Structure 1
Amino acid sequence: MTQADPADQVANAQVLGREFATAIVVFHEAVGRLLGLSAVERKCLDLLQRLGPVTAGAVGEHTGLTTGAVTRMLDRLAKAGYVRRAPDPHDRRKVVVHLLPNERMDALMAMAFGPFVDDLGTIMTHYDEKETRAILDWASRTTGALITSTRRISGLDA
């Protein structure tokens, strides 16, 4: 058995990484369209679902978006009826963003993500515990690199 050329492995990994990233972006754009939102706006709602009420600054920290971009996005989400802003009960100088209950959104998310989550469960049965830890480590490190890169790029348009 011959060893694969490292340069070919890197090139193949780069192509696969680009295809993977494209698939993620296109999927989230399609999910956002279900709600009349962009992919970034939809992912902001996901962030609020996971974190609960947070400041706009926290949204920026978790996304890597600039303060201005977060403010404009939250304005659009509030106008569309997905979020509301309220004074922070612990520090009245701050504003906290709350996700509003939305049965339509919940139903569409279940329709979009239910089969996907099932597919992921099936995919993960192909890996043992060590491989699963490696996959999760890769996903965690890649997420951090993406957030760092988003912050760097966002600083370029300031």
Structure 2
Amino acid sequence: MATEPPQTPEAGELLGREFITAVVIFHESVGRLLGLTAVERKCLDILARRGPMAAKAICEHTGLTSGAVTGLVERLRAAGFVDRQTDPDDRRRIVVSLLPNPKLDEIRARVFGPLGADMAALTAGYSQEQLLTIADFLRRTTDVLVANTARVGAM
């Protein structure tokens, strides 16, 4: 099922906006299953991928202010998803860790198992060269989004 690439910059921008909207709405839906916002759920994802991290690092990865991260971590702690400890090497630093959570594991399996299968089926239709191009696009798009998140956060 080949599709025609966007023929104008406007059509390319619209396609990008539709994609980003679908991602955000998907993660809002997943967050709702856990009683979380998309940002709170993605914070859990960052901790799952990167392991325990300082609150300051969460600020850097999310573009949120330290006050916003403090509130986010408190909500996640109260809901039983994370623990926060004072760093033994620097008592001014708080380290946030993901806690084992059967509900989170069950939701991940129910949601991301089928999504992973669908994405595997989707990518099976692309050549290795096309997949390398897609990976390059995603890496560069991520870099652009991270840079612009920082720019917007500094406003």
TM-score normalised to the size of structure 1?
A: 0.89
Which runs of no fewer than 5 residues in structure 2 stay unpaired? none
Per-residue CA distance 1:55-91 (angstroms, 9 max, x = gap) = 0111111122222221111111111111111122333
Residue 134 of structure 1 and its aligned partner are, at CA, apart by 1.0
The answer to whether structure 1 residue 137 and structure 2 residue 136 are counterparts is yes
In structure 2, the partner of 1:37 is 36
In structure 2, the partner of 1:120 is 119
Asked which structure has the greater RCO (Cα within 8 Å, sep 6+), the reply is 1
Residue 9 of structure 1 and its aligned partner are, at CA, apart by 2.5
Q: Give the residue type in structure 2 aligned to 1:126.
A: G
In structure 2, the partner of 1:59 is 58
Divergent runs of 4+, >6 A: none
Per-residue CA distance 1:31-72 (angstroms, 9 max, x = gap) = 000000000000000000001110011111112222222111
In structure 1, the partner of 2:69 is 70
Q: Is the 8 A contact 1:64 1:148 kept in 2?
A: no
User: Aligned-residue CA RMSD in angstroms?
Assistant: 1.5
Q: Give the residue type in structure 1 aligned to 2:129.
A: K
Q: Is the 8 A contact 1:56 1:95 kept in 2?
A: yes
> Among the aligned pairs, what percent are the same residue?
50
Aligned partner of residue 90 in structure 2, secondary structure: coil
State how far apart, in whole Å, the 1-side matches of 2:92 and 2:152 are. 29
